[in-house]
């Protein structure tokens, strides 16, 4: 029976993620896929998790591991995060931290907490598709977050008021963003903070990839910069989202929020209403594994993924025709490619799949679906040899498509 006629109006903005739909096609063994955005399972710290799960299920611990727990999260994990945040220049206490089921859940909660229908969310153009998916349910209007935007904050506020709401937050991923791989400079981070101040809105700093830097020097988190300005996390408008998905394993669904206590308290109420708590045993395992191997494990990932990133950048230089450009990231998992104007990456994907290579067309990452000539390539999931072979195949497909486009023009 179809119950479509009963679905709430807000469901009209919920559509299947283009990426997830695409991933269903990628089970064939010969395909070289640059489409996913996921860590290489060969590098999950499996043995450390096996030990941690065994310990959690021991006679002494099972009563805690299999029991309900607090909504705020497992205390030793929150304490590990306090110490981790200190290394990032973010002094905070346990009460500034909420454990979530991945940072995706935090995005949903923040949408629920901050967006009234018609309010404006400032987002990157393009931005993380999952953030748009999470926010869409709360029916925001989107405006462009661009540090080089020279509109006055008053103009942005006026446009938001004319749309029937106000600017509630700026959402961004300052390090190796998904999908562009771009890292904001320190000046750009300052500009975002100043603009949020002028608009009196929150800043949602999504740090999903922050630990995965392969080149260059680490830059301070926006929250760290704001604490330096204000002297106290309690005076900060930045809400920092961390995740163990890209560093340890996404399947356990453990992430965290760091923010001023009143924000955390409200998020705790949101979590109580939604799912009570993040799975206790998963939090215990992550706490143990983080304590035992986080630093050494992240070092390994940086070495492996860094080589893959460079293999992809070299292969792009070798195989892409003139007119195709890309952004060189310093970390993360993605290279963002722009095809000549007038080309449609979705059409190129059809040909690429026929040549057994896959990627994600970039239009999906724009709130307005524009920029059809862009595409996202993932380098974390393939060996260097596969990356070289896959980019050679893709280069040939794009060369052919460009020939066809120029013939038609
Ligand atoms: C920028 C960004 N934020 C958040 C997430 C969600 O991660 P998780 O919910 O696994 O922590 C992802 C996952 O791909 C991402 O790319």
Best residue among 243, 275, 286 to mutate for probing ligand 1's pocket (most ligand atoms within 8 Å of CB) is 243
- Specify the residue with its C-alpha closest to ligand 1, atom 3: 208
Return the ligand 1 atom nearest residue 37 CA: 14
Best residue among 102, 240, 380 to mutate for probing ligand 1's pocket (most ligand atoms within 8 Å of CB) is 102
Best residue among 124, 145, 210, 245 to mutate for probing ligand 1's pocket (most ligand atoms within 8 Å of CB) is 245
Strand partners, 18: none
Instruction: Using 70 as the pLDDT threshold, list the residues of the chain that sit under it.
Output: 15-27, 405-409
CA pair distance 208, 250, nearest whole angstrom:
11
Strand 202-206 with 238-243, pairing: parallel
CA pair distance 270, 165, nearest whole angstrom:
22
CB atoms within 10 A of CB 36: 18
CA pair distance 234, 228, nearest whole angstrom:
12
Determine the pLDDT at residue 130.
93
Return the ligand 1 atom nearest residue 104 CA: 9
**Does residue 179 have its Cβ closer than 6 Å to ligand 1?**
no
**Does residue 178 have its Cβ closer than 6 Å to ligand 1?**
yes
Q: How many Å lie between the centroid of ligand 1 and the Cα of residue 176?
A: 12
CA angle 220, 224, 225 (to 5 degrees): 80
Determine the pLDDT at residue 65.
98
Question: Is 168 in contact with 115 (CB distance < 8 Å)?
Answer: yes
Residue 154 class from Cβ within 10 Å (0-12 exposed, 13-18 middle, 19+ buried)? exposed
Helix (H, G, I), strand (E, B) or coil at 243: strand
Query: Which among 206, 203, 148 is positioned nearest to 177, based on CA atoms?
Result: 206
Query: Which among 109, 26, 18 is positioned nearest to 366, based on CA atoms?
Result: 18
CA angle 13, 367, 179 (to 5 degrees): 120
Return the ligand 1 atom nearest residue 245 CA: 10
**Radius of gyration, alpha carbons of the chain:** 22
Q: How many Å lie between the centroid of ligand 1 and the Cα of residue 168?
A: 21
Determine the pLDDT at residue 199.
97
CA pair distance 108, 259, nearest whole angstrom:
16
**Does residue 206 have its Cβ closer than 6 Å to ligand 1?**
yes
Q: How many Å lie between the centroid of ligand 1 and the Cα of residue 181?
A: 14
- Specify the residue with its C-alpha closest to ligand 1, atom 15: 208
Determine the pLDDT at residue 396.
97
Determine the pLDDT at residue 406.
63
The alpha carbon torsion through 17, 20, 24, 29 (nearest 10 deg) reads: 140
**DSSP structural state of residue 213:** B
Question: Is 302 in contact with 213 (CB distance < 8 Å)?
Answer: yes
Q: Which residue reads 């989107």 in tokens?
A: 142
The sign of the CA dihedral 197, 218, 127, 204 is: negative
- Specify the residue with its C-alpha closest to ligand 1, atom 12: 208
Determine the pLDDT at residue 10.
83
**Cβ neighbours of residue 20 under 8 Å, at least 6 residues apart?**
none
Q: What is the pTM of this model?
A: 0.95
Phi/psi at 239 (nearest 5 deg)?
-115, 115
Phi/psi at 98 (nearest 5 deg)?
-120, 135
**Does residue 173 have its Cβ closer than 6 Å to ligand 1?**
yes
Tell me the C-alpha to C-alpha distance, in Å, between residue 363 and each of 33, 62, 126, 201, 355. Answer: 18, 47, 8, 27, 22
Convert 370-384 to b/e letters by CB count within 10 Å (16 or more is b): ebbbbbbbbbbbbeb
**Does residue 208 have its Cβ closer than 6 Å to ligand 1?**
yes
Q: How many Å lie between the centroid of ligand 1 and the Cα of residue 406?
A: 38
Q: How many Å lie between the centroid of ligand 1 and the Cα of residue 42?
A: 19
Angle subtended by helix axes 261-274 and 102-114, to nearest 10: 100
In 148-254, DSSP assigns E strands to 167-172, 202-206, 238-243
Determine the pLDDT at residue 25.
64
**Cβ neighbours of residue 7 under 8 Å, at least 6 residues apart?**
none
CA pair distance 191, 240, nearest whole angstrom:
17
Determine the pLDDT at residue 14.
72
Determine the pLDDT at residue 98.
98
């Amino acid at each position: 029976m179809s119950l479509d006629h009963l679905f709430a109006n807000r469901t009209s903005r919920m559509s299947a993620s283009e990426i997830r739909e695409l991933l269903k096609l990628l089970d064939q063994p010969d395909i070289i896929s640059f489409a996913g955005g996921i860590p290489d399972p060969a590098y999950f710290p499996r043995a450390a998790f096996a030990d941690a799960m065994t310990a959690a299920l021991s006679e002494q611990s099972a009563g805690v591991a299999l029991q309900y727990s607090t909504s705020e999260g497992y205390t030793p994990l929150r304490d590990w995060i306090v110490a981790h945040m200190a290394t990032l220049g973010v002094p905070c206490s346990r009460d500034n931290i909420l454990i979530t089921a991945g940072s995706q859940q935090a995005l949903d909660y923040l949408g629920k907490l901050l967006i009234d229908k018609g309010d404006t969310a400032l987002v990157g153009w393009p931005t993380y598709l999952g953030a748009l998916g999470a926010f869409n349910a709360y029916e925001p209007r989107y405006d462009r977050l661009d540090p080089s935007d020279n509109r006055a904050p008053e103009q942005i506020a006026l446009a938001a008021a004319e749309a029937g709401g106000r600017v509630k937050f700026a959402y961004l991923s300052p390090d190796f963003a998904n999908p562009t791989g771009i890292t904001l400079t320190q000046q750009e981070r300052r500009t975002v903070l100043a603009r949020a101040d002028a608009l009196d809105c929150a800043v949602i700093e999504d740090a999903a990839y922050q630990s995965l830097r392969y080149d260059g020097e680490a830059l301070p988190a926006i929250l760290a910069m704001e604490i330096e300005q204000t002297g106290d996390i309690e005076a900060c408008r930045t809400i920092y989202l961390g995740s163990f998905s890209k560093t340890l394993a996404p399947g356990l669904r453990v992430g965290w929020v760091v923010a001023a206590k009143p924000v955390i308290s409200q998020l705790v109420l949101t979590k109580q209403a939604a799912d009570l708590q993040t799975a206790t045993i998963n939090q215990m395992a992550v706490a143990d594994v983080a304590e035992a191997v986080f630093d050494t494990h992240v070092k390994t990932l940086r070495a492996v993924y860094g080589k893959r990133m460079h293999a992809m950048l070299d292969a792009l230089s070798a195989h892409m025709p003139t007119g195709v450009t890309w952004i060189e990231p310093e970390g993360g998992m993605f290279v963002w490619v722009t095809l000549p104007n007038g080309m449609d990456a979705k059409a190129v994907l059809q040909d690429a799949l026929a040549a057994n290579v896959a990627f994600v067309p970039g239009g999906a990452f724009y709130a307005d679906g524009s920029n059809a000539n862009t595409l996202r390539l993932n380098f974390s999931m393939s060996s260097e040899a596969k990356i070289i072979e896959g980019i050679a195949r893709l280069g040939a497909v794009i060369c052919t498509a460009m020939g066809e486009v120029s013939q038609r023009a």
